[in-house]
A and B are shown apart, each in its own frame.
Chain A
């Protein structure tokens, strides 16, 4: 079956540091890939997505590139802020017949300190 593997957290960084959160997946066919973010006490928000190989999703300074050859979708940001502290989830869904049945990774907590 489908699965998503994320690096374990928590990840603790100083403000303005470079961020990478690794995500790899196992799936048949050509899934669409997502990063969601969850702030304390809230539901998930879509951060960015990519629907085919070599697509780059980007939003709020975050980027991720769909690499089919390495089955990866690593999240990066050049300079993190305290306000980026949250839990980040990598997820996939099949573009045909998948509906909204997303498979999520276990989440990576990011803590950014001054």
Chain B
């Protein structure tokens, strides 16, 4: 069974641009969550989608948005990029909607660098 696939693996963008990251969950998984990982802040929750609906949201500005399609694939968009958005963005999927009874499976991440 294929794991969680994130594309692209690396991205370099300029301040002010926007970017879209993609995540394909494990087949059959309906929940997709996004996390931002930086050396200073560690891992921070961005949002979670379950059956195409956003179910949880972290404390990020509105420049960060996401969506989930009917096949459970998810995209994350960041508009008006800032230098501080440089990070590893991790996507995770799970079979059900809550990790306490259905573990999260993480992708290898997309490394975004903003110059």
Interface residues of A (CB under 8 A from B): 32, 34, 36, 41-46, 49, 51, 89, 91, 93, 95, 98-107
Contacts and interface: CB of A to CB of B under 8 A. Distances in A.
Contacts, number: 77
Interface of B: 4, 31, 33, 35, 42-45, 48, 50, 55-56, 58, 90, 92, 94, 97-101, 103-109
Nearest to B50: A99
B45 A102 contact: yes
Contact of B103 (A43, A49, A95): A49
Given A32-B100, A93-B98, A105-B42, A43 B106 contact: yes
B48 A99 contact: yes
A89 B98 contact: no
30 contacts: A34-B99, A36-B106, A42-B108, A43-B107, A44-B106, A46-B105, A51-B101, A89-B43, A91-B43, A95-B98, A95-B100, A98-B56, A98-B100, A99-B33, A99-B55, A99-B99, A100-B31, A100-B33, A100-B48, A100-B92, A100-B94, A100-B97, A100-B99, A101-B45, A101-B48, A101-B58, A104-B35, A104-B42, A105-B42, A107-B42
